[in-house]
Amino acid sequence: MFTTRKRVKVPDTKKNLWAFPVHCQNCGIRLFGVAKQICRYCILRELARIYPEPKKGMYPEGVEWQIACWRYDEAHLIQRLMHRLKHNAAYDIGVDLGRAAAELFQQAHPKKYGKLMLERPLLVPVPLSQQRRNSRGYNQSYSIAEGWVSAMPLPILREGSIARRASRVNQVHISKSERRLNMEGVYRLACPSVYDWINRPTLIMDDVYTTGSTCFALWQFLKSLGFKKTYLFTLAMA
pLDDT for position 18: 46
Q: Same structural domain for residues 190 and 140? A: yes
Separation CA 55–CA 47 (nearest Å): 19
Residue 147, beta-bridge partner list: none
Angle between helices 91-108 and 110-119 (to 10 degrees): 110
Kind of pairing between the strands at 162-164 and 230-237: unpaired
First-to-last C-alpha distance (Å) of the chain: 21
Separation CA 175–CA 58 (nearest Å): 18
Q: Which domain holds residue 222?
A: 47-237
pLDDT for position 12: 42
Residue 50 DSSP class: -
CATH code: domain of residue 80: 3.40.50
Q: Same structural domain for residues 120 and 222? A: yes
Q: Supply angle C-alpha 69, 64, 219, rounded to 5.
A: 90
How many domains are contained in the chain? Answer: 2
Q: Same structural domain for residues 40 and 123? A: no
Task: Decide if 112 contacts 152 (C-beta within 8 A).
Answer: no
- Report the SS3 class of residue 159: coil
Task: Decide if 186 contacts 217 (C-beta within 8 A).
Answer: yes
Q: Same structural domain for residues 87 and 183? A: yes
List of residues 6+ apart from 237 with CB closer than 8 A: 50, 54, 68, 70, 71, 72, 208, 209, 210
Q: How many CB atoms lie within 10 A of CB 153?
A: 12
pLDDT for position 170: 60
Q: Same structural domain for residues 195 and 225? A: yes
Q: Same structural domain for residues 19 and 60? A: no
Q: Same structural domain for residues 111 and 159? A: yes
Q: What is the tens place of the pLDDT at every residue in 105-116?
A: 999 999 999 999
- pLDDT less than 70: residues of the chain: 1-21, 53-56, 167-183
Q: Same structural domain for residues 151 and 38? A: no
Q: Same structural domain for residues 73 and 165? A: yes
CB burial of residue 200 (10 Å; 0-12, 13-18, 19+): middle
Q: What is the tens place of the pLDDT at every residue in 12-59?
A: 433 444 445 588 989 999 998 889 999 999 999 999 998 776 666 789
pLDDT for position 171: 55
Q: Same structural domain for residues 4 and 71? A: no
Q: Same structural domain for residues 106 and 26? A: no
Question: CA of 176: how far to CAs of 91, 128, 167, in Å?
Answer: 29, 20, 14
Strands of 14-125, DSSP E: 63-71, 122-125
Task: Decide if 141 contacts 214 (C-beta within 8 A).
Answer: no
Indicate the pTM of the whole model. Answer: 0.85
Residue 49 DSSP class: B
Strands of 97-177, DSSP E: 122-125, 162-164
pLDDT for position 190: 96
Q: Same structural domain for residues 73 and 144? A: yes
